[in-house]
Amino acid sequence: MEKTLIILKPDCVQRRLIGRIVQRFEDKGLTIAGMKLMQIPNELAERHYAPHQGKPFYPGLIEYITSGPVVVLALAGQGVIDMARKQMGQTFGYEADPGTIRGDFGASKTYNLVHGSDAPESAETEIALYFQPGELLEYETPAHGWTFKPGES
């Protein structure tokens, strides 16, 4: 089962949107394999955003993601990375389509509510930054068979 990392960023937490956004992922049929509320320390933020180091927006990324509590989720499901990214919408809220998380709740270029891994490799790396071995659960809900047809990809 494919997994992805989702971070509900400080603006999402401060705006009290956690439940509404988690509900969207659950409504889609995705499984929460792990979830925690945390404050991301600078060192972890720097490791997470290492691919952007040296870019002009890098300091702002670090400042933003460490500015308040976040909710970190590991989601599981067939095609979860693509599904989650479609649900999130375009990076900038003012460009995101209505019906997406950023399209419905975002208007800012900076405060974009949510992060999602963009590929299986980055998902694996990012999940390992936030979850220790044994912290993720693998289980199926009764609705799983009605959400994902066996053998379908």
Please, what are the domains in the chain? 3-136 (3.30.70.141)
Any catalytic annotation for residue 115? yes
Question: How high is the pLDDT of residue 1?
Answer: 86
The full length of the chain comes to 153
What would the pLDDT profile of 46-99 be if each residue is shown by its tens digit? 999 999 999 999 999 999 999 999 999 999 999 999 999 999 999 999 999 999
- For the cut 90, the answer to whether the pLDDT of residue 128 exceeds it is yes
Question: How high is the pLDDT of residue 149?
Answer: 77
Q: Answer for the pair 5, 117: CB distance below 8 angstroms, yes or no.
A: yes
| Cα atoms found within 13 Å of the Cα of residue 105, Cβ hemisphere only | 23
Active-site position among 48, 52, 115, 144: 115
- For the cut 80, the answer to whether the pLDDT of residue 153 exceeds it is no
What would the pLDDT profile of 12-57 be if each residue is shown by its tens digit? 999 999 999 999 999 999 999 999 999 999 999 999 999 999 999 9
Mean pLDDT of 107-121: 95
